[in-house]
Amino acid sequence: MKKTALTKYQRLEAAGLWRAEPTAQRVDVVVSVGEATLTITDMRDRVQAHWSIAAVARANPGHRPAIYHPDGDPGETLELAENEDEMIAAIEKLRGVVERQRPRPGRLRFVGVLTSLAAVAALVLFWLPGAARDHALGVVPMVKRVEIGQALLGHLQRVTGPVCDGPGGEAALAQLARRLPPRRGEARFLMVRGGIEGALRVPGGVVLINANLVEDHTEPDVVAGHIIAAHLRAEAHDPLAKILEEGGLSASLRLLATGVLPDDLLRAHAERLMTEPPEPVAAEAMLAGFAHWQVRARPYAYAVDITGESTVELIEADPYAGTAPPPPLLSDADWLRLQEICGG
């Protein structure tokens, strides 16, 4: 399917009636066009079915209401009312694109076959990897993300060393995690002696924190700033997506089929995380993060650059400069415990 034909309709939605089998009751649904699929969702926003556009057939061409079904399964039907002209036109357009790509008998059959093969090759090379990755990211449950994150942590800890567990430190980290939660989901904070720069969030919500951030600074705002940066990086670029991008199509297909990723891929990704600098976060995004999580920006800015030259935007636009201080990040006792979590 041509990308231009799909892009035109990607945000299109319509109301319809869906029936899973001939004896089932018809259900009010919302139909939306996605990447090569029709997604059928009930009124409670629960997905009832995914239909491949390439395999959608029409039961009553030229008649209304339009009735569609998966090719080869006329028992499952989707009925679109007469007033859903735009969606019906979109489906017919996309079906037409698919149909034109199919080889035709006759004198130009050989050319048609070659053209189709070229289209398939282009699909595999350019569209399928991204589509498979996006689909995997959308359907992989949190429990699998946690498992992948734990496996990745095993490789990271070969360099970072074991997680620090000094007396009271785990409780202090838990308190900090409650104070600085991600905007979506939950997070668990772990402290390590080194091997990473600043803070690093891995699939499943674990945030690894370099102990230097608490041992070398007198204020928790510094470590909080690095945690905010880790949250923002994860929001901008899903940590699991990075792994799948490095692993290519085979990694996405394996994750979809088995729920696991190759150990050598996780090992290579861990090595890359520990050797490549973290992605920079724009000052505007950081300032919005400091405001959202109610943290002072100046201590973090001066910790990153003691001269303040490269972080002047954070210093000058600190949301808490000259105003009432934000809520405390930790009590004095918890901050002391955190500074001793790796043995001081």
Q: According to the model, what pLDDT value does residue 304 have? A: 95
156 and 96 within one domain: no
- Choosing from 73, 101, 129, the residue where a domain stops is 101
Please state the length of the chain: 344
Which neighbouring-strand residues pair with 27? 18
| pLDDT for residue 116 is more than 70 | no
Point out the least confidently predicted range of 44-48, 94-98, 159-163, 242-246: 94-98
174 and 111 within one domain: no
CB atoms within 10 A of CB 314: 23
As a whole number, mean pLDDT of residues 223-251 equals 94
Q: What is the pLDDT of residues 302-320, one digit of tens each?
A: 999 999 999 999 999 999 9
As a whole number, mean pLDDT of residues 25-30 equals 92
Q: According to the model, what pLDDT value does residue 128 have? A: 72
pLDDT band at 330 (very low <50, low <70, confident <90, very high): very high
In a domain, 172, yes or no: yes
Q: According to the model, what pLDDT value does residue 109 have? A: 60
Sole residue written with tokens 């990447």: 35
CB 299 within 8 A of CB 321: no
Cβ contacts of residue 310 below 8 Å, gap of 6+?
Answer: 304
| pLDDT for residue 7 is more than 80 | no
Range of the domain at 43: 3-101
| pLDDT for residue 1 is more than 50 | no
CB 297 within 8 A of CB 287: yes
8 and 118 within one domain: no
Residues of the chain with pLDDT > 90, as a percent, come to 58
In a domain, 344, yes or no: no
Which neighbouring-strand residues pair with 210? 192
Integer Cα distance of 143 and 203 in angstroms: 10
As a whole number, mean pLDDT of residues 233-252 equals 93
Q: Helix crossing, 142-160 with 239-258: angle to 10°?
A: 120
Transcribe 180-224 into DSSP letters: S--SSS--EEEEESSSSSSEEE-TTSEEEEETHHHHS-S-THHHH
pLDDT band at 2 (very low <50, low <70, confident <90, very high): very low
121 and 38 within one domain: no
129 and 49 within one domain: no
109 and 7 within one domain: no
Point out the least confidently predicted range of 51-60, 114-123, 262-271: 114-123
As a whole number, mean pLDDT of residues 284-290 equals 97
CB atoms within 10 A of CB 168: 14
Sole residue written with tokens 């990607």: 10
Integer Cα distance of 228 and 247 in angstroms: 27
135 and 22 within one domain: no
CB 80 within 8 A of CB 31: yes
109 and 258 within one domain: no
As a whole number, mean pLDDT of residues 322-335 equals 93
10 and 94 within one domain: yes
220 and 112 within one domain: no
Q: In 3D, which of 211, 176, 226 has the Cα closest to residue 334?
A: 176
For residue 232, what are the CA distances in angstroms to 117, 168, 185?
Answer: 42, 28, 14
In a domain, 252, yes or no: yes
181 and 153 within one domain: yes
Q: How many domains does one find in the chain?
A: 3
Prediction pTM value: 0.65
For residue 270, what are the CA distances in angstroms to 153, 196, 259?
Answer: 8, 10, 19
H helix intervals, the chain: 3-7, 85-101, 109-122, 128-139, 142-160, 169-179, 212-215, 221-236, 239-258, 263-275, 283-293, 298-304, 312-316, 332-339
Supply the CATH number for residue 76's domain. 2.30.29.30
SS3 at position 114: helix
91 and 108 within one domain: no
Integer Cα distance of 137 and 238 in angstroms: 9
| pLDDT for residue 149 is more than 50 | yes
Q: According to the model, what pLDDT value does residue 115 have? A: 61
Mean pLDDT of the chain: 88
